[in-house]
Structure 1
Amino acid sequence: MVNRDRQLNKRRFLGFVFLCSFIFFTWFTHVPLMRNIATAQTADISQQVEQGVKSYEAGDIRGAIETWQKALDAYKKADNAKNAAIVSENLARAYQQLDDTKEAIAFFNEAITYYGAAKNLLQVGRILTELAQTYNNQGQARKAISLLCSNKFDIKSDKKQHCEANSALQIAFTNKDSHTEVVGFGILGEALRLVGNYDLAIQYLEDAAKVKDSGYEILINNSLGNVYVNLGQLWYIRAKSAEQTNGDKAGEFQQNAIEDFNKSIKYFNSSLELAHKQNNFLGQLQALLNTIQVSYRSHDFNLIPSATIDDKIREAVSLIDKVTDSSTKAYMAIDLALLPSDFKITSSITQCSKIGELGKLSKTESINILNQAITISKKIKNSRVESYAYGALGHFWECQGDEAQALKYTKQALIAADQKLAAKDSLYLWEWQAGRILKKQNQEKESLEAYQRAFKTLEAIRSDIITSTRDVQFDFRDVVQPLYRELAEFQLQQILQASMKSDISKSGASDALETIDSLKLAELQNYFGGDCIVNVLNPQRVDEIVDKNTAVLSSIIFDDKIALLLTLPPRKTQPGGTLVRWVQASNKILQKEELQKQIQAFQKSLISGQGRPDGYDRTLASQLYDLIIRPFVKDFKAANIKTLVFVQDGFLRSIPMAALFDTQAQEYLIQQYAVGTTPSIRLTLPKSSDRHLEKALVLGLTKAAIIDRQEFQALDYAEKEIEAVKQVFPNSIFFIDAKFAPETLRTELGNKNIFPIVHIVSHAQFGTIPEDTFIITGNNRKLTISELEDALSNLRGKANALELLVLTACQTALGDDRATLGLAGVALQVGVKSAVASLWSVQDKSTALLIEEFYRNLKKPGMTKVEALRQAQIKMIKLTGEESEFASPAFWSPFILIGNWV
């Protein structure tokens, strides 16, 4: 349903070009015949309108706009609402053809105003529907839903909802306008698909399909096919996540993915069959390319034979010349020309297939088709299409290894993209592309400048990109993420080369930190599929927030190495700054794969240490200490550092840093420093507060549970942990077992009670995606991240709330850095100042001991949260007698403090 021409605003230029976008027709292709407007005005105005029509039909869109604008001014002056409405409507569509959405929206709103004044409610409903589609194309699906039905529409509900009186659909119902009704259902279904409510999207699209001979059958089938592709992709991702957390569900999820992919193929085949019957070449090309895209997404299941796909590609190529020139055709041509030979390619516009296998088409075919797209863009005078076509051709030559040709066309793409900033959302792609090409040409200064411009542009539009369709989150990681990492690596290399030293302290390191911190913020926003995190951003840079005894140690993972960046506070004898070192072993830079293997072995040794009387092997702990901590020990001592805050990257997030071991001092890291963590400095405000920790809301599960056929053992010592909380906070409120339910939490937090602490004693699982992230409640139920967020959001804005969220008995998928991202993000997502949680499940008897000590420390005047946890962990280390087994870091090190460490 979303017009291919304008879909690019939200996703076309995100870099998700091939596997994450779909081919759509617009639901509105007509331009009202201006010749039929009332001609009571002067002949000159009628002639202007007529001339505008001729210009439009001849492809001179700008000429039509200039002429119609004069006519509109005349109609306004004559107070002719009826004709002003028609001209405004057509001006809106003309601007749509130029992808000038801002002007299009303005004129659609003018048309609505004038049609309302002319008492033409039928047309008001139609224009509202078309305006809704425009917002959909911009990725503003919620705005579209509001116009179509209601601004109170519950996008999470699985039931169809009543539409308000002044909404597009209600106007259509009242006036028995079946045309607008079908279109409205279709666009509403597409909007719901974009916000991730696939089940409800299907219901509305099936309502549209019930209207026989509507003329929109091809569109409806394609839209339903796209919904089922999204569902298939989601099930596929969940299957991969379940392999880490619940193997029994992996097979079921995989089967669901196959079923939904097959349904999408069926709908696309139906569209193709209808398009053949109607001799609709554009419809045929649309259905063919959508089917080809499904084959890429479902490649692991081999649902469509390779020979069949090859035939469809050849058929699509043969259709190009038969389709009428338009921006839609141009984008289809580009997708076709850049079809990758490698099914693992997630974006054909930023990644290259294997050398010698550059695409499904021949080199000559690809060049000809891309040049044809450029010709079309010039003919229709659409700078956005022109920019994209030139950029695609530049990327083609980049993949061929011809930097001169690649740079030539990339520069032309930049020129086209910069026209009135009409294609700003593609600008970052071409600046990034120019940066890559210039770097290969050894033009490092120019390359770095191009990378920096790309970064600046991407930051400006990042929220729009990463809050789009949730199912592209992995493509975001694989496609957009490299720009941040490549720039950060470039920044570090530049200053390292300038200093000719292995470590430095210059402003360039801070720039690299800002770059990678922006990536981590983007990852969190993308993981949760929302932008509410943006509202709590700390504008300060990392070097501006460290206090006199705190250092921040950040890590950045690159393709072949890992950088460690230490930010120190200023001292009397030396200003603060950032030191940079590569992770090295025996004066040799360590490959990231080597470090990852060591970390995985370290985790496994700790977890297995829970059942061993001798604890675990300290060898791995000391090796990691020497790699990560020892290079900075002298700097720590010189700056009198007492607290280390880690901002880890990727797989480094899952390291229990407190357990690293210093063989020289025979101490764990936690015995030397308090240890905190945060996924992003800009999401953390290290500010002390006047804490009045008098009570907590305690939610607990003591009994065994079965969730999704996975058994979770009874927490035998949960009652002891709950009792420990009661001893420290006697005024607390408790909901245990059956009383612990999602609705209980929501109701209790919705009351006037203020709970500075929410303590949850239960199994929790943090999966690769939020759907597989939940806390187990009573009666074998789940509290999802979304439900937790909704409940805790009631505490926002209340005095002294919410200071701390504590989750015990958690279970994070080992080896999956996105799972740990979810663990860190759950607190920050709901505006909690700090959180304490564990990286893996721990025997609850030891947890009760640690938590009780942590809370007692926390109530001491002047005790920071991170120091309170440190003292509790040190006490565990010193346990003797029957409890001496809990001295092993297997029991205390997985507990980490996230967020505000003060």
Structure 2
Amino acid sequence: MKYPQWFLPIVLVALLITVGCSHSNVTISAQEDVLAQSPSSVLKPEPDRVTEALDRSDVPEAIRQIEIRWKNQYEDYFQGKFKTQIVPAAEIARSLNQINQRTKRKSALFYAIPSANHLDLMLVTANGKPIHRRITAANRSVLTQTLQSFRMGVVRDDSDPDDYLVPGQQLYRWIVAPLEAQLRAEGINQIIFCLGSGLRSLPLAALHDGQKFLIEKYNLAIIPAFNLLDRQSRTSPNTEILAMGASTFSNKPPLPGVPIEIASITQTPWQGTSLLNQEFTLKNLRAHRQKTPYGIVHLATHAEFSSGDVNRSYIQFWDQQLKLSQLQELGLQNPPVQLLVLSACRTALGDTRAEMGFAGLAVKAGSKAAIASLWSVSDASTLMLMKEFYRALKSAPVKADALREAQIEMIQNSDRLRAQIRDRRLPEEIRALADQNLAHPYHWAAFTLIGNPW
């Protein structure tokens, strides 16, 4: 076949581009790699029944449809049924009122549902009347771009403030500001977010109103759905901690701060047991909980919430990887664990499957709540944040108070914490990180409370 004269140069250029890409020496950071592995980061429309209900101003029906849809989604992802009942919006409001009276916190349930042409926001408070706002400026295209810019800004500890403040303020204007007048009017100080696809791995704490980060204004938690939320009371200050982890791995990067981390949180003011390296096994976890009903289980180890099938996500023990579909093997349901902490996770940010594993962690594991990180945070900042969290948790009225206090400490008192990192009793690998700017969201915004915030 005879080709036109212009065809051969185009073929040569294409070949050069292909060869150049396949032999590229450009490297990508670990955090950027997490973002690069998110093929499903484009936001998908939520079900038509939700939009139809909102179009006719039937907010309670829209909430019911969301709860049904999300229960089905999580059951499909985790490959099993959740024994739960869908409760109407009016019942959600009554439940919030009862919880508010018991905890002395004013909580609001906040739905954010992205779709092709707009972002739907719904707010349920104890007053019983749900509120809806539709943000047409936040269509799928612009919201996805802004989310990506924001994530890229917060997951790099060397990014400039504008890299995360500019998109973070735009997201605040779209997601929080439209309902903030109602939050203020009702004295809300704790927001429980139910987020749609593409938003469940959003580091909410780092959203910014132009003056303050969102975490400086409210307690925050995310839940997969209200009907999947365990609504029992707060963690007892008398509970004990089972802290386990590994500092070295055969096929993973070392975590040199882990021995200090787990030793520090099982001593004053808490009491507990620490198991390190070879002792960090699933068998030992179950055996220790059979002897002592530890209310808090802290795992300082690598954990991945990956794209695709649920079995691609795991928690790394010393001798095995526990797949996300096997979380019930932790045995946290009997007796129920109040709090599961994973201090060294990372998630394929923006991936709709990975974020379901992250948001559904507490439900699947059988714990009332979980704290996990959205990206891998440095050992030094993880150590400081966890020390502050457990110190605050001893006296905090609710779990969300303790995490918020620890994150604010990182933002406002980073110099004091850096001085602690320079302590000669710490490993040299930790002390080498003492000059980090701990006020940067990279160091604190990854840590997210999932499930029961009380």
Q: Which of the five TM-score ranges fits, normalised by the shorter chain?
A: 0.7 to 0.9
Do 2:221 and 2:450's aligned partners in 1 also have CA atoms closer than 8 Å?
yes
Offset of 1:729 from its aligned partner? Answer: 5.7
1:485-500 mapped onto 2 (5 Å cutoff): 485-495=47-57
Match of 1:701 in 2: 246
1:458-537 mapped onto 2 (5 Å cutoff): 485-495=47-57, 508-531=58-81, 533-534=82-83, 536-537=84-85
Matched, 1:556 2:96: no
Matched, 1:828 2:363: yes
Matched, 1:687 2:260: no
Do 2:153 and 2:163's aligned partners in 1 also have CA atoms closer than 8 Å?
yes
Return 686-695 or 716-725, whichever deviates more.
686-695
Match of 2:265 among 725, 732, 750: 725
Match of 1:633 among 173, 180, 183: 180
TM-score when scaled to structure 2?
A: 0.80
- Deviations 1:205-258 (Å, cap 9, x if unpaired)? xxxxxxxxxxxxxxxxxxxxxxxxxxxxxxxxxxxxxxx86999x9xxxxxxxx
1:26-65 mapped onto 2 (5 Å cutoff): none
- Deviations 1:163-210 (Å, cap 9, x if unpaired)? xxxxxxxxxxxxxxxxxxxxxxxxxxxxxxxxxxxxxxxxxxxxxxxx
Matched, 1:595 2:143: yes
SS at match of 2:275: strand
Offset of 1:658 from its aligned partner? Answer: 0.9
Do 1:540 and 1:682's aligned partners in 2 also have CA atoms closer than 8 Å?
no
1:274-673 mapped onto 2 (5 Å cutoff): 485-495=47-57, 508-531=58-81, 533-534=82-83, 536-537=84-85, 539=87, 541=89, 542-547=92-97, 549-570=106-127, 576-584=128-136, 589-608=137-156, 610-612=157-159, 616-663=163-210, 666-673=211-218
Do 2:229 and 2:451's aligned partners in 1 also have CA atoms closer than 8 Å?
yes
SS at match of 1:716: coil
Identity of aligned residues (%): 29
Match of 1:890 in 2: 442
Do 1:615 and 1:885's aligned partners in 2 also have CA atoms closer than 8 Å?
no
Q: Measure, in 2, the Cα distance between the counterparts of 1:893 and 1:616.
A: 15
Offset of 1:653 from its aligned partner? Answer: 0.8
Q: Measure, in 1, the Cα distance between the counterparts of 2:269 and 2:324.
A: 26
Offset of 1:744 from its aligned partner? Answer: 2.5
Matched, 1:901 2:453: yes
1:172-187 mapped onto 2 (5 Å cutoff): none
Label 1:592 to 1:613 Cα distance change in 2 as closer, same or farther (>3 A): closer
Do 1:674 and 1:866's aligned partners in 2 also have CA atoms closer than 8 Å?
yes
Label 1:830 to 1:590 Cα distance change in 2 as closer, same or farther (>3 A): closer
Matched, 1:874 2:413: no
SS at match of 1:546: helix
Offset of 1:722 from its aligned partner? Answer: 1.2
1:142-181 mapped onto 2 (5 Å cutoff): none
Q: Measure, in 1, the Cα distance between the counterparts of 2:351 and 2:85.
A: 26
Question: Is the helix fraction higher in 1 or 2?
Answer: 1
Identify unmatched segments of 5+ residues in structure 2. 1-32, 101-105, 419-433
TM-score when scaled to structure 1?
A: 0.41
Question: Is the strand fraction higher in 1 or 2?
Answer: 2
1:46-195 mapped onto 2 (5 Å cutoff): none
Offset of 1:853 from its aligned partner? Answer: 1.4
Q: Measure, in 2, the Cα distance between the counterparts of 1:614 and 1:649.
A: 27
Match of 2:10 in 1: none
One-letter identity of the residue aligned with 1:807:
L
Do 1:550 and 1:568's aligned partners in 2 also have CA atoms closer than 8 Å?
yes
Offset of 1:514 from its aligned partner? Answer: 1.1
Do 2:327 and 2:364's aligned partners in 1 also have CA atoms closer than 8 Å?
no
Do 1:613 and 1:885's aligned partners in 2 also have CA atoms closer than 8 Å?
no
Identify unmatched segments of 5+ residues in structure 1. 1-243, 251-473, 496-507, 571-575, 707-711
Offset of 1:787 from its aligned partner? Answer: 3.8
Q: Measure, in 1, the Cα distance between the counterparts of 2:170 and 2:405.
A: 25
Do 1:802 and 1:833's aligned partners in 2 also have CA atoms closer than 8 Å?
yes
Structure with higher RCO (Cα < 8 A, 6+ apart): 2
Q: Measure, in 1, the Cα distance between the counterparts of 2:216 and 2:442.
A: 16
Label 1:718 to 1:615 Cα distance change in 2 as closer, same or farther (>3 A): farther
Match of 1:676 among 211, 218, 221: 221
Larger C-alpha radius of gyration, 1 or 2? 1
